[in-house]
Amino acid sequence: MFCFQCEQTAGGKGCTKVGVCGKDSRVATLQDLLLYQLKGIAYLGSKILAEGKKIDEGTTKFMMDALFSTLTNVNFDEKRFVRYILEADSVKENLKNQVSNLDNLPAAVYYRPPEDVEKMIADGKKVGILADDIDEDIRSLRELLIYGLKGMAAYAHHAYRLGYKDIEVNNFFFTALANTLDSNLSADELYNLCMELGKKNFKCMEILDKAHTKTFGHPQPTEVLISRKKGPFIIVSGHDLKDLKELLEQTEGKGINIYTHGEMLPAHGYPELKKYKHLVGNYGGAWQDQQKEFDGIPGCILMTTNCLQKPRDSYKDRIFTTGVVGFDGVAHIEEVNGKKDFTPIIQKALELGGWQEDEEEKKILVGFAHNTVLGVANKIIEAVKSGQIKHFFLIGGCDGAKPGRNYYTEFAEKTPKDTLILTLACGKYRFNKKDFGIVAEFPRLLDVGQCNDAYSAIIIAIELAKAFGVDVNELPLTLVLSWFEQKAVAILLTLLSLGIKNIYLGPSLPAFVSPNILQVLVERFNIKPISNPENDLNEILSKK
């Protein structure tokens, strides 16, 4: 196996024997073969588009879901990848019937997978990341594009589940992935595709924002309990608000408390979700703490998306997966005719009985997406003009296990009292339970939402820039980002495609970005690897 798609990749170079994430070499190789199949599908899809025809909805949905399943910490289940690979074969055969000429196409188009898993693995070994002998920079850009597409697939999947989609975003999965089969593509052409991906992902996050706010209302500032309550419970993790809503409906009146976990925390701000009284609070920290925090827990956990870690035996019988998530031996809740029946998890939670006592109450504040923040834009602008707010920081992104990620905690702690911090995604757990006080009349720490709510943060920045009559890069705003997996790659490409410069990025730079490509990004966008909080803060604040 060879995989270097995420930040925790072995030795900062690549996982070769087993994934640091726990993905074994069999699953990694099956994922490679699935991606090869998806490239074949993409090529046929791009031909269908070039012939002026449409790609059917089932094929698009398959593309999104299958790409999503290969993200870090989503699916570790060998059987699921075997099914996807075989399904991809039917999808491909169906597309072949729609293309007028099938001569001289890339091998991925003609490839037919064997039924036998060992043979599949043998085939997968021939089509991995390092399979072809290409220039390091071309490989780097190609993988950058593929990881961006994977990230965007996750967002498109969530929007689609709520009935929202965009034809340009959907078609781009096919045209862009098809291009990764073209070994004659130049570095410039691949770079341009990466920037185009950034733009398409902005559109995709906009659609997802619309899907969330039209379905659940605009998030409102909301206090969230972070201590335990007595009674049976289910903890819901991941990003899928639709799953949470369905579970809330099915648990109403059953005496079960629902807690959010990880990236589900922003759910508490949405009117159509917070109205459920049994959505009682948030449990635990970021994803990498789950094995410790779920250990022997007297309740259930539902994983709707990443980040899933290998469950310990002490809770393997009470963690459930749904959607594209999976783990061998863990119960999975399937969608049937657009509905999910959560009865097994509900019954298990009741059986386990839950916590015996209430803990002392503690609360944090969430719900500062674009509608709320821009609703007080005039006051924010006044506070900047009067000198009460001197600088804005967006300290956001993913969390992870590396000790170097303490940088973000220290950075947030060291920001001066006359600055305001916006945060989003699971990296916020490094500091979201700390009291940062007030600046002007605002809490100094404003939680904008999930990683996809980077859209919200961008809109806030664009609108503030307009109000001040300056370019976004001239705002007293600095982005201090932590990346971990492929959604963060898509977001980073979005920020770059919008021309946003001077981003501080850490905790380490992506292994798949070659030195030459990094140099290009540094020259064009002045991306800065994080150093230490004091140095970086001094550098940022002395420039004003």
Provide the binding-site residues for ligand FSO, judged by CB under 6 A: 262-263, 287, 306-307, 398, 425-426, 450-451, 484-485, 487-488
User: From the CB of 43, what's the least distance to ligand FSO, in Å?
Assistant: 28
Determine the Cα–Cα distance for residues 444 and 440; give it in Å rounded to an integer. Answer: 9
- Contact call for residues 84 and 41 (beta carbons, < 8 A): no
Q: Which of ligand FSO, ligand SF4, none sits in contact with 3, Cβ below 5 to 8 A by type?
A: ligand SF4
Choose the binding region for ligand SF4 from 4-12, 51-59, 180-188, 455-463 (rule: CB under 6 A): 4-12
Instruction: Decide if residue 325 touches ligand SF4 (CB under 6 A).
Output: no
Q: CB-wise, 6 or 109, nearer to ligand SF4?
A: 6
Please give the structure tokens belonging to residue 406: 């303490």
User: From the CB of 418, what's the least distance to ligand FSO, in Å?
Assistant: 29
Determine the Cα–Cα distance for residues 266 and 271; give it in Å rounded to an integer. Answer: 11
Number of residues that bind ligand SF4 (CB under 6 A): 13
- Residue of 15, 256, 464, 488 interacting with ligand SF4 (CB under 6 A): 15
For residues 58-77, which are near ligand SF4 according to CB under 6 A?
72
- Residue of 12, 16, 21, 505 interacting with ligand SF4 (CB under 6 A): 21
Residue 182, CA distances (Å) to 106, 108, 154, 190 in order: 8, 11, 25, 10
User: From the CB of 24, what's the least distance to ligand SF4, in Å?
Assistant: 9
Q: CB-wise, 508 or 516, nearer to ligand FSO?
A: 508
User: From the CB of 136, what's the least distance to ligand SF4, in Å?
Assistant: 17
Residue with tokens 């950075």: 411
Residue 336, CA distances (Å) to 18, 145, 146, 205, 434 in order: 34, 33, 30, 27, 42
User: From the CB of 259, what's the least distance to ligand FSO, in Å?
Assistant: 16
Instruction: Decide if residue 9 touches ligand SF4 (CB under 6 A).
Output: yes
* Long-range Cβ pairs for the range 381-386 (8 Å, 24+): 381/464, 381/467, 381/468, 383/439, 383/440, 383/441, 383/442, 384/468, 384/476
Phi, psi angles (nearest 5°) of residue 364: -130, 170
Q: CB-wise, 39 or 158, nearer to ligand FSO?
A: 158
- Cβ partners under 8 Å of residue 206, min gap 6: 455
User: From the CB of 70, what's the least distance to ligand SF4, in Å?
Assistant: 9
Kindly compute the dihedral angle of the four CA atoms of residues 519, 522, 523, 524, in this order, to the nearest 10 degrees: 120
Determine the Cα–Cα distance for residues 142 and 192; give it in Å rounded to an integer. Answer: 11
Q: Which of ligand FSO, ligand SF4, none sits in contact with 213, Cβ below 5 to 8 A by type?
A: none
CA-CA-CA-CA torsion sign (73, 79, 85, 88): negative
Quote the DSSP letter at residue 332: E
Q: Which of ligand SF4, ligand FSO, none sits in contact with 5, Cβ below 5 to 8 A by type?
A: ligand SF4
State yes or no: cis peptide before 6, omega within 30 of 0.
no
Q: Which of ligand FSO, ligand SF4, none sits in contact with 425, Cβ below 5 to 8 A by type?
A: ligand FSO
For residue 170, count other CB atoms closer than 10 A to its CB: 22
User: From the CB of 99, what's the least distance to ligand SF4, in Å?
Assistant: 33
Determine the Cα–Cα distance for residues 370 and 452; give it in Å rounded to an integer. Answer: 12
Instruction: Decide if residue 4 touches ligand SF4 (CB under 6 A).
Output: yes
Q: Which of ligand FSO, ligand SF4, none sits in contact with 484, Cβ below 5 to 8 A by type?
A: ligand FSO
Choose the binding region for ligand SF4 from 15-23, 168-176, 243-251, 279-287 (rule: CB under 6 A): 15-23
Q: Which residues bind ligand SF4 (CB under 6 A)?
A: 3-6, 8-9, 15, 19-21, 23, 28, 72
